[in-house]
């Protein structure tokens, strides 16, 4: 049976580097029977994921149309495996199509196919700090991280997200992966995803020369916060200052920042522990905590 792999992120789990790698190696994937489609990739040259597939699921008419267009591309290509990737799919469902409806649209478009939704999760405290780092770096965030938490709280309930997806696609379609270095194949998102989709990286696959969308060092974060506050309302000046700060304060891969403090981190872990255990029991068949502490830090990019 042909298989549609839907990589739905989440945000801040190495998605940009993964999408660039898959996009640039389309020919390599095709030789191994994998299609990384054109349908759904925006015309922006800096976008390599299928974000338009996600955005269309805001609209009851546009949603079915683009997913049937994807099916047509898949049928024409004739490969037995199709992989699409967008962290925006991790934000489903959107208000105009609540509950499992968007997933049922996908299931209808790919009737007769096996569907696997692959979702990478990371501890909520890490997700908060990494997302905050990104919003400071790229979106102009200039508030305190504790104020920021309330604005992204909806993204942190992994149990709810996966339960809704399972109600639309079926529990057997859900593949949960942990975005922790010790939990991924070779400690790497590209290697881990390749294992999920049956891609042999030894057969001509070329990785990006460096991780994309890096974070900021602690000093860079402070500098960017100050620039966001000082240059609010001056987009051109802020853009130039961002580039200067990024050039000087780019964080290396897997560097961990302590922006919350141990007490807040423990409180966040306690808040989501039972929900995370539900995820582990239902989707991993593990009666244990979803996330185990890592001895060598955690990814921030």
What gap in Å lies between CA 133 and CA 117, rounded to an integer?
27
Residue 254: predicted pLDDT: 59
Give one DSSP letter per residue of 154-190, joined into a string: GGG-HHHHHHHHHHHH-GGGEEEEE-SGGGSGGG-HH
- 77 CA to centre of own chain: 26
pLDDT tens sequence across 189-199: 999 999 999 99
Q: Which residues pair with 175 in a beta bridge?
A: 118
Contact 289, 180 (CB under 8 A): no
Identify the sign of the CA torsion 61, 65, 66, 68.
Answer: positive
Structure tokens at 188: 């790497």
Beta-strand runs (E) in the chain: 3-7, 34-35, 81-85, 114-121, 174-178
How many Cβ atoms from other residues are within 10 Å of residue 79's Cβ?
Answer: 19
pLDDT at position 265 over 90: yes
CB of 132 closer than 8 Å to CB of 258:
no
Q: Please tell me the predicted confidence (pLDDT) of residue 300.
A: 47
Rounded-to-5 percentages of helix, strand, coil across the chain:
55, 10, 40
Given this model, what pLDDT does residue 235 score?
94
**Is residue 231 helix, strand or coil?**
coil
Interval 206-262: pLDDT, tens = 998 877 777 889 999 999 999 999 999 999 999 999 999 999 998 876 566 789 999
d(CA 131, CA 68): 33
Q: What are the tens digits of pLDDT across the range 121-142?
A: 999 999 999 999 999 999 999 9
**H or E element in which residue 11 lies:** none
Mean pLDDT along residues 142-159? 95
Contact 289, 186 (CB under 8 A): no
Mean per-residue pLDDT of the chain: 94
pLDDT, position 258: 81
Question: What is the per-residue pLDDT for 255?
Answer: 67
3-class state of residue 110 by DSSP = coil
pLDDT band at 296 (very low <50, low <70, confident <90, very high): very low
Predicted confidence (pLDDT) per residue in 45-67, tens digit: 889 999 999 999 999 989 999 99
Which residues make Cβ contacts (< 8 Å) with residue 12, sequence separation at least 6?
122, 127, 130, 131, 134, 301
CA distance 224 to 249: 10
Residue 107 structure tokens: 């299931």
H/E element, 58: none
């Amino acid at each position: 049976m042909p298989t549609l792999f839907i990589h739905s992120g989440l945000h801040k789990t190495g998605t940009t580097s993964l999408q660039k790698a898959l996009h640039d190696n389309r020919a390599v994937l095709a030789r191994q029977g994998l299609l990384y489609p054109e349908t759904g990739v925006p015309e922006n040259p800096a976008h390599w994921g299928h974000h338009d597939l996600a955005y269309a699921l805001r609209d009851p008419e546009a949603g079915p149309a683009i997913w049937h267009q994807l099916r047509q591309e898949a049928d024409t290509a004739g490969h037995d495996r199709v992989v699409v990737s967008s962290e925006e799919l991790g934000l489903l469902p959107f208000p105009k199509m609540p509950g499992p409806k968007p997933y049922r649209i996908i299931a209808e478009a790919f009737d007769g196919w096996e569907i696997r939704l692959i979702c990478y999760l990371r501890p909520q405290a890490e997700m908060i700090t990494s997302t905050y780092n990104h919003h400071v770096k790229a979106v102009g965030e200039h508030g305190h991280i504790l104020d920021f938490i309330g604005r992204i709280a909806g993204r942190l309930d992994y149990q709810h997200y996966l339960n809704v997806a399972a109600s639309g696609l079926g529990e057997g379609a859900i593949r949960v992966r942990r975005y922790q270095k010790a939990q991924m194949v070779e400690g790497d998102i590209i290697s881990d995803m390749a294992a999920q989709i049956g891609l042999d990286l030894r057969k001509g696959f070329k990785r990006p020369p460096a991780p994309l969308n890096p974070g900021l060092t602690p000093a860079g974060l402070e500098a960017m916060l100050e620039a966001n506050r000082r240059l609010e309302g001056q987009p051109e000046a802020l853009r130039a200052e961002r580039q200067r700060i990024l050039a000087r304060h780019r964080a290396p891969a897997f560097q961990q920042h302590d922006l919350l403090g141990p007490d807040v981190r423990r409180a966040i872990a306690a808040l989501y522990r039972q929900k995370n255990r539900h995820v582990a029991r239902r989707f991993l068949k593990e009666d244990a905590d979803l996330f185990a502490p890592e001895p060598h830090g955690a990814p921030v990019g």
